[in-house]
Structure 1
Amino acid sequence: MRESSHLLAGLRQRIARIAADGGLPGRPAAGWLASGHAPFDDALGGGLAVGRTHEFFAADTLDATSAAAFAALLALRTPGKAPLIWLRTVDAGRRAGRIYAPGIAELGGDPDRLLLVEAGDSKALLACASDAIRCAGSAAVIVESWGRFPLLDLTAGRRLALGARDAGTTLLMLRLGAAPAPSVAETRWSVAAAASHALEANAPGAPAFDLELLRWRSGAAGTRWRLDWNHDEQSFGQGVGDAALSGALLPLPARRAMASHGAKAA
């Protein structure tokens, strides 16, 4: 607990300075965190609900970076200059690598808004998360964990959800190297990397993501989406070659289809 207090003391001072410089309100406005992809947002009633908990799982171990990137880009779409708090354990830093500020800027985000806190272990991470969601002036909180997280049971999850709701803070739980399990999250997603569309001269295309809605407390799940990141507009949209998908529903990824055929052949 002393470690949590030490970490969050400096964090609160930084948020207070940003709030004083930018004239930020005490809490974010209620509403939705929109992706910018109109069909995707409309299907969710406007986007991801603000002041709620949303979980993101990597579809495969190799998709961990894509899941983290999607959560970060989504959080960076929050309006204004309100800080975004990213909490992770030291172990997560070793596994996923350091967050590269120039890379965030290259994608159109403002790395100055990102406040990174590394906790020593899962217990400290949970304590920091409980404090961070109540920090006045923060736009969103990302909590990155790797593997099983036994301390994050239904009781702990409910406390975080209530804290986020009361403060109006959007809580994005980045569960890497873990399998989806029952929780109190408003939405639960599986994120995988999608093949980007090459630009002129066969230049690398924009980051693209395959998403599957695993759970939605307010509606039906099971929908699949492809979202491409637009650097210029700083929003998600539909890829150039995806018009036939009508902007939303995706078939099963090719790699899963191939695995299924292989199983039948065996």
Structure 2
Amino acid sequence: MQGGLARGRLHELFGGDEDEGAAAGLSLILAHLAAGDAPLFWLRLAKGAVAQPYGPGLAALGLDPSRLLIGVMKDDALLLRAAVDALRCPALGALVIELRGRAPLLDLTASRRLALAAESSGVTALLLRIGGDPVPSAAETRWRVTAAPSVPLPGNAPGMSAFSLHLLRRRSGPDGMTWRLVWNSARREFGEGDDERHDHGQGSGGRADDAALSGAVVPVPAGRPAAHRAA
């Protein structure tokens, strides 16, 4: 799969309450790929965070739990303020910003602050929206994430983690496409599922242009500064 998630930018991932685990898992995988050997930072709220990070589960995804830093904030205002401060630190590998529900403080102005801070430092920001609806945003890309069925491994062992990823919006290109991605934790890379990519925005039912994927989905290259680079 060619292309990649643009580094040093703000990207928004939406997951419903029933797909919280899938959206959070994909956000952490993307952050891991964007960060390289640098630390990851996950900002969360003290209230409402149902799922808690589980070390063996992170390791099963191919992530090193010792590289994950978690900051717990008491409200959205403190979380967004901490997110801007964190994004100004170029030593950080990537930042996951988790907000739940409507999050009224996350308006266009707030998202612009996040986007500008990410572009300035080259730190990739993943805005994880659980149970929220899209509003005007300065994010480079916007995605809807749901869990997808995986093919069992030999011996009927659980299959690899699979995600259905729908591109809701992209600032620099076409949107409306859907991909099924399978995460190979041993090789630390994504592969596409057996399903073809479909363009739901054109109404033609045809295969999406490869250029629509370029610059939109992992893998993510190493090296900085990265504000104007994509895989």
TM-score by length of 1: 0.72
Q: What is the match of residue 249 of structure 1?
A: 198
The equivalent residue for 1:213 is 167
When residues 116 and 79 of structure 1 are mapped into structure 2, their CA distance, relative to the original with a 3 A threshold, is closer
User: Any unmatched runs of 5+ in structure 2?
Assistant: 201-231
Deviations 1:133-153, CA, capped at 9 Å, x for gaps: 012311111000110111111
Is the Cα–Cα contact under 8 Å of residues 7 and 34 in structure 2 kept in the other structure? no
Deviation at 1:106, TM superposition (A): 1.5
Task: Find out whether 1:108 has 2:62 as its counterpart.
Answer: yes
Following superposition, which runs of at least 4 residues in structure 1 exceed 3 angstroms of deviation? 248-251
1:172 correspondence with 2:121? no
Question: For residues 205-258 of structure 1, what are the alpha-carbon distances to aligned partners after superposition, in whole Å with 9 as ceiling and x for unaligned?
Answer: 11100010000001011000000010210111134xx1xx34x3388xxxxxxx
Query: Does residue 1:56 correspond to 2:2, yes or no?
Result: no
Distance 2:199 2:17 in 1: 21
Alignment match of 2:152 (pick from 189, 198, 201) = 198
Higher relative contact order (CA 8 A, sep 6+): 2
Superposition RMSD in Å: 1.5
* Partner Cα separation in structure 2 for residue 199 and residue 160 of structure 1: 41
Match of 1:76 in 2: 32
The alpha-carbon deviation at position 111 of structure 1 amounts to 1.3
Go from structure 1 to structure 2 and tell me whether the alpha carbon gap of 1:89 and 1:235 turns closer, same or farther (over 3 Å shift): same
**2:4 corresponds to which letter in structure 1?**
G
Gaps of 5+ in 1: 1-37, 252-266
Structure 2 CA distance, aligned partners of 1:233 and 1:202? Answer: 21
User: Equivalent residue of 1:91, what SS?
Assistant: coil
* 2:222 aligned residue: none
Query: Greater share of helix residues, 1 or 2?
Result: 1
Q: Structure 2 vs 1, CA of residues 160 and 79 (structure 1 numbering), >3 Å: closer, same or farther? A: closer
Over residues 149-182 of structure 1, what are the superposed CA-to-partner deviations in whole Å (9 max), with x where a residue is unaligned? 1111111111111111111111100000101122
Aligned 8 A contact 1:92 1:144 in 2 = no
The 5 A counterparts of 1:1-266 are 38=1, 42=2, 46-58=3-15, 60-78=16-34, 80-93=36-49, 95=50, 97-239=51-193, 242=194, 245-246=195-196, 248-249=197-198
SS of residue matched to 2:34: coil
Q: Could you tell me whether the CA contact under 8 Å between 2:150 and 2:159 is conserved in 1? A: yes
Structure 2 length-normalised TM: 0.83
> 2:209 is matched with which residue?
none
Amino acid aligned to 2:5: L
Pick the structure with greater CA Rg.
1
- Residue 226 of structure 1 contacts residue 250 of structure 1 at CA under 8 Å; is this kept in 2? no
In the comparison of the two structures, how many residue pairs are matched? 200
